[in-house]
Amino acid sequence: MSQVFTGKNAIVTGGAGVIGMATAQRLVAGGARVALVDRDSDRLNANAAALDAGAAVAIVADVTKQAEVAAYAERAQRELGPIDIFFNNAGVEGPTALLDDYAEEDFEQVQAINVTGVFHGLKQVMPRMRDGGAIVITSSTAGLRGSPGFAGYTMSKHAVIGLMRTAAIEGAPRRIRVNCVHPAMVNSDMMQRIERDRGDPAAMHEKFLSRIPLGRYIEPDEVAALVCFLVSDDARMITGGQYLIDGGIML
């Protein structure tokens, strides 16, 4: 990859996960320095160690807690410098359950991570960004339609679209761009958990594949490629947008 991000500093939340890591790898390959943020310290530190020496810092934080978000934003700015790129990506799927069986505490936890965590990130990171920076928020195809069995996740991914639109308007005077990506099924631990939760994993895998016109799950690096385009200067007039990466599932 050409050094399109040389001199730029990035924060990636959900840095212990496969999409966060794939995006960090692309950013670092492009010359950026990256602060990886997650609450899973073991996987987070392993991911940071796998990146080029000196290119990444691991910051353990719970995105549901405003004080910890403020701390990760402050530390990233202190160690890297002003922030140019923010991949506001941390999220969980929550349980698989129909509405009448969906526990209130599970619903609230999903909102706390997927919505409040995104809000805290925008609130704390945007003021620390250089003018002309870029933010991408991870939503989902579940943010664009109903998903039976996933009330908490579906609501949360609809909600972050509203946050994205508001942040895009508020960031425009400083040329800070904000967009959403909407992945469908990604080859990840999350999809493996969903397949197990819904019954026989092999049968569920085939059922999900049958819904994808292009015939396979999305690879994390394919999501990362879209994210890195949106935060690059090639996308300098793109803001307030929503970008599917779904293999045609929304057709």
**Helix, coil or strand: residue 147:** coil
* Contact call for residues 243 and 180 (beta carbons, < 8 A): yes
Distance CA 15, CA 244 (A): 21
Structure token digits, residue 3 = 């050094």
Contacts of the segment 47-53: beta carbons below 8 A, 24+ positions apart:
47/15, 47/16, 47/20, 47/21, 48/15, 50/21, 51/24, 51/25, 52/28
Dist CA 49 CA 46 (whole Å): 5
Separation between Cα atoms, residue 186 and residue 189, nearest integer Å: 9
Catalytic residue among 102, 153, 217, 243: 153
217 belongs to the catalytic site: no
Query: CA 119 to CA 165: how far, in whole Å?
Result: 12
242-245 β-sheet, strand order: 56-60, 33-38, 9-13, 83-88, 129-138, 177-183, 242-245
Q: Catalytic residue numbers?
A: 153
